[in-house]
Amino acid sequence: MSKTDQVLDKTEKDQQFYYDLTKFEVQAIAQRNQILLVFQSILFTALSLSAGKDIFYPAWVVIVLGLAISLLWLYLNALTYVVENESMQRLIDVDKRVESVFEVRKKYFLLRKGSVSLIMSFAFPTLMLLAWLTLLLFYIL
């Protein structure tokens, strides 16, 4: 195997690795969002069912649990997003075709302002965190 073939083989392996890693990280964010949105919905349901009734769990426990889960959700998505972003940058370095996608994104306002993975990583958990903080303030006041 010549030196050129070895370099091409390594480039193809790197390209496949970074592509797979990026795809995995995006899927991890999506699956985590699905699971945690269902769990948050269960907590909201438990809280709404306990409103004004004597139930075995106090409302503040549900609210604090919702806050904790939202913070954990934000933290995990931030870690995943960093890895996804880094692998995407390395994929761009290895495969110039990917760079054309980013060039197209720059032409459109919404795509220029934020990627889907950025919105998915931080918008949903932040909205849930704000909802739990609002409920906590109503509960305290």
Domain that holds residue 45: 3-140
Identify the band that residue 134 occupies on the pLDDT scale cut at 50, 70 and 90.
very high
Mean pLDDT (whole number) for 106-121: 72
Mean pLDDT (whole number) for 60-66: 89
Q: Whole-model pTM?
A: 0.76
Cα distances from 8 to residues 11, 12, 22, 46, 108, in angstroms, run 5, 6, 21, 57, 34
Q: What gap in Å lies between CA 98 and CA 5, rounded to an integer?
A: 22
pLDDT for 114 beyond 80? no
Instruction: Give 40's contacts (C-beta < 8 A, 6+ positions apart).
Output: 66, 69, 70, 128
**How many domains does the chain divide into?**
1
